[in-house]
Amino acid sequence: MIEVLGGVQVEHAIARAQWTDEGGGRWSTPLPGGAFAYGLPGFLRLSAPGLDLRTGAEAGKSSFVLEHGRIHVALGQGEPPESVALVQRMEHGAAGTDARWQLRVGNDFGTGIPVWSDGPEELVCDVPAASRISFTACWLSRSEPAPVTFRVRLDGELVHEAVLAPADFLRGAFQSAVLPPAARKRARLAFEVAGPPGLGILARPTLGPAEIGVYGARPWPAARPDVVLFLADTFRADNLGAYGGSGELAPHLERFAAGARCFAEARSNAAWTLPSVASLLTGLAPGQHTANDSPNPLPKEVETVCEALAHAGYRVGAVTDAGYFTAFHGLDQGCELFAQHHSTEWNLDRTVAQALQFLAADDGRPVFLIVHTYRAHLPYRVGPEEDHSQWDALAKAYPVLAREGKTDEEHARLLAESRASYRELYQAGVRDLDRGFGDFFGGLERLGLAQHGWLVFTSDHGEALGEHDDIFHGGDLWEVKLRIPLLVRGPGLAPGRVDLPVTLLDFAPTLFALAGLEPDPDWAGTSLLTVDHARPSWAFRLQKRRQVALIDGARKLLTRQDKAFASGGCELAYDLSTDPGETENQAAAPWAKELARQHAPELGPLLAPLVEELNVEPSGALQHELKGIGYGGDDEGDEAHPEGTSGGEPGAAPH
């Protein structure tokens, strides 16, 4: 067993004598039990000198298959090597923020206490007077489903008992019990589960006051506000009226915008999810945090806003649609709950329900929740049932993502013929995202959070829909990919329009200002609540094909040679006041050269890594999923997938 990033790697040697010759160059051997019995694609492989076979490999690549408890391989001529290592990567728990144990239940990651069914788990702690204990009960087992009883004892006295029904095993059921009123020093808390062999999990356990009131009405002065971030991935700014849209596409969001502070000149700092969300969560530019490609997760040395708020006493959670917003990419840091829904499970209604379930499990602490959805992301889907059949048919007839073997003229022709259909499908996703947001906001109203908490709606980037003969996102940093909506609503914040330029780098300082925390001196952003002057905006593409974009007022520069800025060099320059479509290149104009020289000193610090870049190859299953949702060009963040697909199954071995 070998420790690797995010888990362990278990290796088992298979001797040549253990293989059975099935004829025709095919061989088989029994699949061992234990960790290897799961055999999930992308996490199981056969390795020997000159041999590297994986399950779930793409057509045409070496692979092996699992059938009826056996491993089957086709080697062609010859016999298996003298010894073959069967390798399985398994994720496991780890010490998280404040040394709280982090574990996994299905695709949900977070803090918790594991309790096996064959004995109690005990801990010793002080219990203040008038306390209550709260947790979410979950259950994992290979046994036949049967009700499971959770018990909590305080110094041997039973203080809580609840039966968990099979329907709640994975999603969990919130438990909260008032403890005996007297304070106790060095009290023994014992947690038990009674049922068939399995593992009980007390997720997000908290010891707090017996009386907690409700959101917006606590028995104590509220020092820190509740904050909810709704992150609509791939949401173009002009989907909304305030950003140049018709105002008819998203009625729920239009109503929300009418009561919010609307930042009309908001931009992302990247044109795809990983670097953009990493900047949102860290306050650092992509070059500083280093999470800029699929094998480059956010290093743990970088503190996220989730970690900082958890240290400050917040209950922190995230419900995401996976893809690049995953625990593998380091974006779960600081979350008590990090629930990632993979592409085969995408369903906005379930995302909304799980987010509201987390908010309803109130233990009195201030809450910070991120709700992330790919509802407007390809493969474009239609209706509440998220039907992608229209996308499959269109993408097969007009594979504009696959440029291999096509001339620029042929690509442009295919895009011209199909762009209206792609736009129509994209907007169908926006309409249903709006419906889901309306349901979510209604839930916030029922909980009292809409009235008393802060809600931010934004996106990580936009989407090209034919502009510049370009489609989807990643790639060149055009305005349609960088312009995003940014709406902030909170108690005492007057609604209205702000025309000063802002970026996602301003989110972390805003969150810290609300929570009363000191901003990081490395941050380039400013709190949205106090921004009072125009600043340049920067965006970055820091993969094999680099590009930097600078927007200063209405003037924009793009360059692939960032060091050329100091001498006034850039490849593209546009005056957005007269050319919002970025069609007339003015790179030779004196103003472009002067603008580059003027801002060159600012660029260096934004590109200087503050930590060492990580390089960890994603599992085959995760790569398959990312290709299924459109990623996988020369740079991992570029969209490049030839045909419609519903994505892959990226699971990791359960434990």
Q: 354 near 374, Cβ under 8 Å? A: no
Q: Which helix (H) or strand (E) holds 613?
A: none
Q: What is the CATH number of domain 227-535?
A: 3.40.720.10
Q: 174 near 360, Cβ under 8 Å? A: yes
Alpha-carbon distance of 594 to 568, in angstroms, equals: 6
Nearest to 528 by CA among 556, 491, 492, 487: 487
Least confident segment among 287-301, 549-563, 628-642? 628-642
Is 640 a residue whose pLDDT tops 60? no
Q: What does each C-alpha distance from 361 to 162, 174, 591 come to in angstroms?
A: 16, 6, 56
Alpha-carbon distance of 473 to 492, in angstroms, equals: 36
Least confident segment among 74-83, 292-301, 377-386? 74-83
What does the pLDDT read at residue 647? 33
pLDDT (tens digit, 9 = 90+) per residue, 293-318? Answer: 989 999 999 999 999 999 999 999 99
> Chain-wide mean pLDDT for the chain?
89
Alpha-carbon distance of 98 to 309, in angstroms, equals: 12
Q: What are phi and psi of 324, to 5 degrees?
A: -100, 0
Q: What are phi and psi of 45, to 5 degrees?
A: -150, 160
- Give the pLDDT band of residue 5 (cuts 50, 70, 90): low
- Give the pLDDT band of residue 246 (cuts 50, 70, 90): very high
> What's the pTM?
0.86
Is 649 a residue whose pLDDT tops 70? no
pLDDT (tens digit, 9 = 90+) per residue, 433-471? Answer: 999 999 999 999 999 999 999 999 999 999 999 898 888
- For residues 633 and 188, the model is more confident at 188
Q: 179 near 127, Cβ under 8 Å? A: yes
Length of the chain: 655
DSSP 8-class letter at 457 = E
Alpha-carbon distance of 374 to 471, in angstroms, equals: 17
CATH of 94-209, one of 2.60.120.260, 3.40.50.1970, 3.30.720.110, 3.40.50.10540: 2.60.120.260
Q: Which residues of 469-496 are buried (b: 16+ CB within 10 A; e: fewer)?
A: ebbbbbbbbbbbbbbbbbbbbbeeeeee
- Cα 183 off chain centre by: 41
The pLDDT > 70 percentage for the chain reads 89
Alpha-carbon distance of 359 to 338, in angstroms, equals: 13
Strands, E, within 77-211: which ranges? 83-91, 94-95, 101-105, 108-116, 121-127, 131-140, 148-154, 157-164, 173-178, 184-194, 199-209
- Give the pLDDT band of residue 154 (cuts 50, 70, 90): very high
pLDDT (tens digit, 9 = 90+) per residue, 181-221? Answer: 999 999 999 999 999 888 899 999 999 999 999 999 999 98
Q: 314 near 293, Cβ under 8 Å? A: no
pLDDT (tens digit, 9 = 90+) per residue, 12-62? Answer: 899 999 999 998 888 999 888 765 665 554 567 888 887 888 775 444 456
Is 272 a residue whose pLDDT tops 80? yes
